[in-house]
Structure formats: C-alpha cells, structure tokens
Amino acid sequence: MKFTYRSGQRPLDGYTIKRGVGQGGFGEVYFAVSDAGKEVALKLLHRSPDAELRGIAHCLNLKHPNLVHLFDLRTDDRGDRWVVMEYVFGESLGQWINRYPTGLPVDLVKEWFGALARGVSYLHDQGVVHRDLKPANIFIENGYLKVGDYGLSRRISLSQGGDMTQGVGTPNYMAPEIKSGNYTQSIDVYACGVILYEMLTGHPPFEGETPGEVMMKHLTDKPDLARLPPAFAPVLEKALDKNPVVRFATVRELARVVEAVGVGDPAAIGPPVAVAFIAPPPAATVVPPPRGVPVGAPAVIPAARSRYAAGPIPQGFRGRLTELAGSFALVPVVAALCTAPWALAGSAEAWSLLGRVFMLSTALSWAVLVVGRPPSPDQKSSWGRRFHLLLVGLGVGGLAFWLDGWALPRGGTPADTSHDLVLGSWGRVSPETFSTAMRYLFYFGLTVAACRWWAMADRARKERFRFLPILGAGLWAGGLLFLWPWEAASPALGVAPVVIAAVCVQVASRWVPAVAAAPVRPIARVVSAPRPRHRCAL
C-alpha cells in the first residue's frame, strides 16, 4: 500500500512520521512521534467536509478509558487537515474475531462487551452517536478495549471505502432505520448487537456479495439465532429487532442483560410482563460504580474478573516476532556457556571441535525456535510438526558435513572413476563423499525429528528448565550413533549440538508461569431486602 508520506518526513510541524499504519476512504493514518517524544497517530483527512470537522471538534474534549483520545485538529502548510490522536499499541477486535472463527470465549466476550458499552454509553451521554461501530474501529491494548473513529463519521455518502464502508456506516453493522435517515442512539444499540453476535459466533448475522444485498437482509431477514449459545439467543433477538422501539433503549441496558446471562434470570430481555408490586423496595446499599463508568451511570457489577484481564492473552504476529528476536539473541550466549568448558583441554583439535559444536548448536536452536512451536489444541497428531523438524535436521546435517571440510560437488577430472556419482553436467561426487554426506543427513534428520522440541519451547510448560528433555535428547542422539560417519568425525560433533540445543531452547524460550486459580467467592448482587410480589392478571 502506497502512502503520501514516508518515514522521517514532517508534513505537520512538531511531528515526525515513522511509518504508515492504514488507509481507507477517510484518508491515511500514520504512526508518528512528536518533538518531545510522545507517540501519536496522525490521521490525514482526504475529504474534510464541514460536518466532519465539526464532529471532530465536538469530540476533542471527550475523555474516557474506553475511547481513543483525540488530541488536536491541525492544518499543515498545504491546507490539508490532520487529526492528532492516541496511538493504540494493539490489534483490532476484528483481528481477534478472525483468530476465533467459532466465537470468542464467553467470559472474554462479556468483559470486552461491557467495556464497549461503557465507551459508547459515554458518547451517548455527551450527545454523540458513533454511527460507524464495527470490530475494525475497536481496538484491544494489553487486554483493555478502546473505541475509535467516534468523531469522524458524521454523514452518509455514496462513495464506497474499504471493508464495505459507505460514508458513516458499514452495511454489516447498519440498522434498518438508517435508510430513512434516523440517527438516534438506537442505531448504535443495533450495531452493538451485531458486534456481540459476531463475537459469539465468529461471523456477522447477515452476509452477502454486495453491500446492497447485506442491507436488504438487515431490512427483511431475521438473524439465525441457532448459531448462538442458547442463553444469548433472547438477548440478540431483542437487540437486533427491526423496530428500534422494541430494542433495548440504551447500550447500557443491553450491557446489563449481557452481564446477567448465566448469573441470574434476565427477565428484562423478554416482552414486558404486567407485574404489580405492593411495597416499594427499601433503601438499597449504595454500590460505587466500577472504573471507567461515568458518574451517575448505573453500575454494571462484574460477576468475576476474566482470566484474560490479569493473565496472558494469545499472542499476535508482532508479539511473536518480538519474542523470537529476543530468544535468537540469547541462544548464542547460552551455547557459548555450554561449550566453554571444552576449552579447558587446550589442544588445537579441541578448539576446532568447540567452534563447530557452537555453530551447530546455535543453528539448530534457532531453527527449532522457528518451527518447534507447540501444536494447537485441535491438532491431534504431531507428525506434521515432526516432518518440519526432519527438514531442520537435514539442514543441520548438511551444515555439519560442510563444517567438517568436505568438498562440494566438483567438475570431472582425469582422476575420476566410473564409480563417481554424476550430477548432471556440472559435477561429480565420489562414493566416499556421497556415503558420508548421507550419514550426516540421516543422523541429524532422524535425531532432531525424534525429540519433542515443541514441549521445550512451550510458553505454558510447567517449569522453565527441566533435565528430562535434555536426557531424552541425549538418549536419541546416542541411540542413533550407528548412523554416524565414525571414520570422518568425532561422535561428539553429533551428540553435543543436540544436547546443547535442548538446553538453549528451554532457556531462550519465553516461559509464562501458570497462575493458580483463586477460589471465586460468590458476589452479592442483590443489595436490597427481598420484596413480595403479586401478579396482576390482565
């Protein structure tokens, strides 16, 4: 994707662009750093009608933990308009949903949907309707949810942007009444219902080949509630009703019902029932609202803290790459410490062997860290992973063959015999060289494939370092020595790199200790005394 500005340029006074982040119908987003060192996101508006600029200006002073903060609205020397905003170091909710094609865990859905509702409710309290709620505009940073783009979508237009976005809405998340120009908070309630449906199932309720087909389904079709967990079906039936009057009146009311699913009897989600109460409820104990809820808003009391809020969450590609770079840097240090005692021998041969063992150990550890990740929970067989390890072992065997001084295939000479292996028209290999090479390859290939490297590199292993995997690697390396070319090199060159790599992989791989689950104490959710009920038949 091509951006207007490159890294290092300063189109806006006081800020230096580091890289482009994304593009769309609205413009371009850059990651930038101010002269004082503050990291921000700069959004260049390609189209800046007065309505959009007024909306941005209206949202500049909104502050909430679950909203992406807008810092300033600036104009550069060319007359282009820029929005300076908070840069969120994380992934969008859409990326998380793509990672869970059958739906996110229910406890995570309830936690993040509660945060979404708090952010959107705050906007409504300030008289702002988002009008473009969708997973791509919602971001997760260190387990906490932030709603973005709440000040930019101010009108409907026919120009089509990315991800099926038209003006201020995306057809997959647009309420039916948008066709008539109705922009009350009910359209955000509907969009939140669609997002909740997608979080629970992995797919939006209505899909189609074109935006018009999707919009027609929102107008006429009913969502497939059978794909939902049964307890959430009545919640989404009401949240996605075609009639905005039948829906939940506010996003805050929807969030309370979602939080109550599985905890109590959410009677509020069904049609209204005529119930008369004889006595008014006694004075209730005042419960302070949780952090991030506007003062004066009804409190949403979580039943229990989700394990994702305090514990590790699944890694994204960027986190995996950063972790891998750190492990790569640590491997040579560990390999050097493991091979250093060999230097006590002091002979030239020992030093030569030491260097080869160090290089093979480092190369094997690096390769294992790349391909030796633990299998996914639904992966029943490890044979595919062992095949990749077999390829790694063959590569290490070829490296060992070369380090031992064996020549590569050469051209023919008068000394060549008819027993040489001819490799096309460019080289010959003697029988001795071919036999030795095959024994190197088979030895390292089978030894590396036999070891359970993924257990050594597992972030969730019981202990960071154990001697049992090292012993297992040593037994396999020693048991397959019948394949080793004894006449060509010392067997230590085969056993030592495998054993040292078992040490390096465990030390260099990240380890996240398991946290013992604390007993969940029941939370008193009813703070007032029980009250008698009398039904009135109508």
Q: What is the pLDDT along the chain (538 residues), one digit of tens a residue?
A: 678 898 899 999 999 999 988 877 667 899 999 999 999 999 988 766 666 677 787 788 889 999 999 999 998 988 888 999 999 988 899 999 998 988 999 999 999 999 999 999 999 988 888 888 999 889 998 888 999 887 665 433 333 344 444 445 678 888 888 777 667 889 999 999 999 999 999 999 998 888 888 888 888 889 999 999 999 999 999 999 999 999 999 999 999 999 998 764 444 444 443 333 334 444 444 444 444 444 444 444 444 444 444 344 455 566 677 778 888 899 999 988 888 776 665 545 566 778 888 899 899 989 988 887 655 544 455 677 788 888 998 999 888 888 876 655 555 554 555 555 555 555 566 777 788 888 889 999 899 989 988 888 887 788 888 899 899 999 998 999 888 887 777 888 889 899 999 999 989 888 876 544 444 444 444 444 444 444 443 3
Q: Which two tokens stand for residue 216?
A: 């027609």
User: Could you tell me how far CA 423 lies from the centroid of its own chain?
Assistant: 48
Q: Give the C-alpha distances (Å, rounded to integers) separating 192 from 12, 62, 289.
A: 35, 20, 22
Supply the DSSP symbol for 378: T
Distance between CA atoms of residues 372 and 392, nearest Å: 10
End-to-end CA distance of the chain: 64
How many Cβ atoms from other residues are within 10 Å of residue 33's Cβ? 14
What is the pLDDT at residue 27? 78
Residue 454 to residue 388: CA distance in whole angstroms: 12
Which domains, from first to last, does the chain contain?
Answer: 15-86 (3.30.200.20), 91-310 (1.10.510.10), 317-404+430-508 (no CATH)
At 524 the pLDDT is 42
SS3 (DSSP) at 71: strand
- What residues are paired with 86 via a beta bridge? 40
Instruction: Judge contact between 456 and 509, C-beta under 8 A.
Output: yes
CA–CA separation, 134 and 440 (whole Å): 56
User: 413 is written with which tokens?
Assistant: 């000479």
Q: Are 525 and 301 in contact (CB under 8 A)?
A: yes
Per-residue pLDDT, 209: 82
Distance (Å, rounded) from C-alpha 387 to C-alpha 477?
A: 18
Contacts of 373 (CB under 8 A, 6+ apart): 454, 457
Tell me the whole-structure pTM to 2 decimals.
0.52
Length of the chain: 538
How far is 419 from 38, CA to CA, in rounded Å?
Answer: 70
pLDDT, one tens digit per residue, over 471-503 is: 999 999 899 988 888 777 788 888 989 999 999
Rounded Cα–Cα distance for residues 39 and 161 (Å): 27
Cα–chain center distance at 415: 61
Give the single-character DSSP code of 227.
G
